[in-house]
A and B are shown apart, each in its own frame.
Chain A
Amino acid sequence: MHHSIEIDHLSFSYPDGHAALRQVTMHIQPGEKVALVGPNGAGKSTLILHLNGILTGQGEIRVAGLPVTKPNLGKVRARVGLVFQNPDDQLFSPTVYEDVAFGPLYQGFPPAEVRQRVAEALTVVNMRNYEKRISHHLSAGEKKRIAIATVLSMKPEVLVLDEPTAGLDPRARRSLIQLLQELPLTMLVSTHDMHMVKEIFPRMIIMDEGRIVADGPTDLLMQNEELLCAHGLEKP
């Protein structure tokens, strides 16, 4: 049995020389739900973009047992569902249906299977009746759910989300938290929402200045106010 995410000694510098990741190592078991927290600029988003090979640094990454290397990128991308922070980046088709169908269509599934996957994904996020809607006209909470459906339709093994609750109203946030709690997938979620972390993520990884500074049970780390404070976080 392989780990869902295995990162060993990953380092990455942007072309301008700024070191965004320094010797990052983390292992996540199948089914585990892990929160990735830390101040802005800590390297969380950079790390996430490594999980499906959009950025490539030095070090080793394996996702769902596959090394993230050039020949594997297609398969890796089918196994990792990456949900970007801004749903507008993710929803680039005119209608909700076309957006959710993008992944399965790209993989070459026959039309019947594509339709079924879209229906399933939309049902999971409680947006069954939105197929014909125009993505552009949805509310932020609705867009977020559709963005998640666009990756669920690929039936990924790992779900990676970047700041899923940013900009949502309390009700939309609440229903999103419930959705994340119910989804039976391995999850790595970058966030600033410490209340959500406490509620649904048993494990928490703190990053700062490109390094992992703490990795452990959320209950334990949340009690260490000094640690949280030192890395720009607040105890919920």
Chain B
Amino acid sequence: MHVHFLDPYRPGQSPIHKLDSRVKFVLTLAFIFAAALTPTGAWAIYILLLALVLGVEVLSELRVGYVLKRAALALPFILAALPIVFTMPGEPRFILSIGPWALTASLPGLERFISIAIKSWVSVQAAIVLASTTEFPDLLMAMRAVRVPRLLVSIFGLMWRYLFVLADEAIRLMRARLSRSGVSDQAGLKPGGSLAWRARVTGGMAGSLFVRAFERSDRIYMAMLARGYDGEARSEPLQALSGASWVVLALSLFTLLALLVFALLFWA
């Protein structure tokens, strides 16, 4: 009766699963940076980046369809870039009239928008592959390895640990509400109550969840203090990266760098 659907990790034995989490973490970041720094309209490079991430998806045995479905999450964020189409100066392409306003779409604006859309799309895919093939504790370890502040890493860790507890709690609350949402045998009664009343009940549930999360955090903190916590997050020293991992890391970084240099030389 526990919540697992929030956990994006998919167990597997693929080469991508087995790759050291530090290598995956650094490469994902590097990939996202490379995509972000690639100039607008470098279509050939975009295709190569997409091919790269699709190749990794195939290697990871995650099923490309699965990753693409999750990548649809990026769509609403892409919309934020939509105004660029109409605000960039340049050769007008078409005019969109909404009531009294006429919006002029320019060619450079359109180009910029499509570039941003593609870049975010491939970046999100890379992040999904990372999260789906790496267990969260390994991700935390990777963050420590690249010197993300320890306090931040321990906050991520605690959040991850208790997110599920909180979700379980929410499910139990909803179950208890459902159990009392009955329909009377008496004729002429309309079950369900008014919308305002239902909203108030839901508000009460959210509030109670908040109060309990708050109290739990107090108890967790006390339990940490009881075991000697002094505000400093400590952890075991990290294992050295294997030779093979270094080779993978170096080669992949070189490829990404080459792509980026190529893109900057020809399109910037």
Determine if chain A interacts with chain B. Answer: yes
Interface residues of A (CB under 8 A from B): 14, 16, 45-46, 49, 52, 54, 74-80, 82, 84, 86, 88-94, 98, 102-103, 105-109, 136, 150-151, 154
| Cβ–Cβ contact A54 & B193, under 8 A | no
| Cβ–Cβ contact B176 & A77, under 8 A | no
| Cβ–Cβ contact A92 & B205, under 8 A | yes
Interface residues of B (CB under 8 A from A): 1, 4, 169, 172-173, 175-186, 189-193, 197, 201, 204-205, 207-208, 211-212
9 contacts between A and B (CB under 8 A): A49-B175, A75-B182, A78-B183, A93-B208, A94-B204, A102-B180, A102-B201, A106-B191, A109-B184
Give the distance in Å from the alpha carbon of A90 to the alpha carbon of B207 in the complex. Answer: 14
Residue of B nearest to A86 (CB): B172
A-B residue pairs, 5 tightest by C-beta: A78-B182, A74-B183, A108-B189, A77-B182, A107-B184
Give the distance in Å from the alpha carbon of A83 to the alpha carbon of B5 in the complex. Answer: 27
| Cβ–Cβ contact B169 & A74, under 8 A | no
A102-B201, A107-B191 given; A89·B181 CB < 8 A: no
Picked from A16, A49, A79, A93, the residue with its CB within 8 Å of the CB of B182 is A79
Main secondary structure of the interface of A (DSSP, over half): helix
Cβ of B183: which chain A residues have Cβ within 8 Å of it?
Answer: 74-75, 77-78, 107
Picked from B1, B4, B175, the residue with its CB within 8 Å of the CB of A89 is B175
Cβ of A109: which chain B residues have Cβ within 8 Å of it?
Answer: 184, 186, 189
| Cβ–Cβ contact A108 & B180, under 8 A | no
A99, chain B: closest CB distance, angstroms? 9
Cβ of B185: which chain A residues have Cβ within 8 Å of it?
Answer: 75, 78
A92-B205, A107-B189, A108-B189 given; A74·B197 CB < 8 A: no
Give the distance in Å from the alpha carbon of A124 to the alpha carbon of B1 in the complex. Answer: 33
Contacts A54-B175, A74-B182, A151-B180 known; 16 new A-B pairs at CB < 8 A: A54-B179, A76-B182, A77-B179, A77-B183, A78-B183, A78-B184, A80-B179, A89-B176, A92-B204, A106-B192, A107-B191, A108-B190, A108-B191, A136-B208, A150-B180, A154-B182
Residue of B nearest to A82 (CB): B179
A108-B192, A108-B193 given; A77·B178 CB < 8 A: yes
Q: Which of B181, B190, B197, B211 has the most CB of A within 10 A?
A: B181
Picked from B180, B192, B204, the residue with its CB within 8 Å of the CB of A77 is B180
Cβ of B189: which chain A residues have Cβ within 8 Å of it?
Answer: 107-109
Residue of A nearest to B209 (CB): A92
